[in-house]
Amino acid sequence: MSKTATLEIEGKKYEFPISVGTENEMSIDISKLRDLSGAITMDQGYKNTGACKSEITFLDGEEGILHYRGYSIEELAAKGNFLEVSYLLIFGELPTASQLQSFETDIRKYTLVNEEMKNIIDGFPKTAHPMGVLASLTSALTAFNPKAVDPNNKEELYTAVCKTMGKFLVIATWTYRKTMGYPLNYYDNTLGYVENFMNLMFKLPTEPYKANPVITQALDKLFILHADHEQNCSTSTVRMVGSSHAGLFASISAGVSALWGPLHGGANQAVLEMLEEINANGGDAAKYMDKAKDKNDPFRLMGFGHRVYKNFDPRAKIIKVAADEVLGTLGVNDPILDIAKKLEALALSDEYFVSRKLYPNVDFYSGIIYRALGIPTDMFTVMFAIGRLPGWIAQWKEMRENKEPIGRPRQIYTGSPLRSFVEVDKR
Catalytic residue numbers? Answer: 306, 363
Among 161, 238, 267, 340, binds ligand ACO (CB under 6 A): 267
Report d(CA 92, CA 393) in Å as an integer: 12
Task: Quote the least distance from Cβ 125 to ligand ACO, whole Å.
Answer: 28
* Cβ nearer to ligand ACO, comparing 300 with 341: 300
Question: What mask of x and - would describe binding to ligand ACO in positions 75 to 94, judged by CB under 6 A?
Answer: --------------------
How far is it, in rounded angstroms, from Cα 273 to Cα 129? 15
Q: Which stretch binds ligand ACO (CB under 6 A): 175-183, 263-271, 317-325, 373-381?
A: 263-271
Say how far apart CA 402 and CA 396 lie, in whole Å: 10
**3 state SS of 201:** helix
Beta bridge partners of 72: 67
DSSP notation for 93-130: SPPPHHHHHHHHHHHHTT----TTHHHHHHTS-TTS-H
- Residue 104 or 228 having the CB closest to ligand ACO: 228
Q: Does 300 bind ligand ACO (CB under 6 A)?
A: yes
Q: Is 361 in the site for ligand ACO (CB under 6 A)?
A: yes
222 binds ligand ACO (CB under 6 A): no
Residue span binding ligand ACO (CB under 6 A) among the ranges 167-175, 361-369, 394-402, 404-412: 361-369
| Min CB(296)–ligand ACO separation in Å | 12
Region of 3-11, 157-165, 302-310, 397-405 interacting with ligand ACO (CB under 6 A): 302-310
Nearer to ligand ACO, 198 or 358 (CB): 358
Of 6, 51, 2, 11, nearest to 33 by C-alpha is 6
Interface with ligand ACO: number of residues (CB under 6 A): 18
Cα–chain center distance at 57: 13
User: What is the C-alpha separation between 37 and 309, in angstroms, rounded?
Assistant: 34
Contact status: 163 vs ligand ACO (CB under 6 A): no
How is the beta sheet containing 65-68 ordered, strand by strand? 57-60, 65-68, 71-72
**Nearest residue to ligand ACO on Cβ basis:** 305
- Range in contact with ligand ACO (rule: CB under 6 A) among 152-160, 187-195, 294-302, 410-418: 294-302
| Residue 216 in contact with ligand ACO, rule: CB under 6 A | no
Q: Choose one: 22-30, 34-42, 296-304, 393-401; the region binding ligand ACO (CB under 6 A).
A: 296-304
Beta bridge partners of 71: 68
314 near ligand ACO (CB under 6 A): no
Is 356 a residue that touches ligand ACO (CB under 6 A)? yes
Spatial CB neighbours of 233, under 8 Å, sequence gap ≥ 6:
258, 259, 261, 263, 264
Cβ atoms 207, 44 nearer than 8 A: no
Of 307, 317, 341, 342, the residue at the interface with ligand ACO (CB under 6 A) is 307
Say whether residue 317 binds ligand ACO (CB under 6 A): no
Count Cβ atoms below 10 Å from residue 114 Cβ, excluding itself.
Answer: 14
| Rounded Cα gap, residues 186 and 179, in angstroms | 17
Whole-angstrom distance, CA of residue 38 vs CA of residue 34: 4
Residues that bind ligand ACO (CB under 6 A): 263-265, 267, 292, 300-307, 356, 358, 361-363
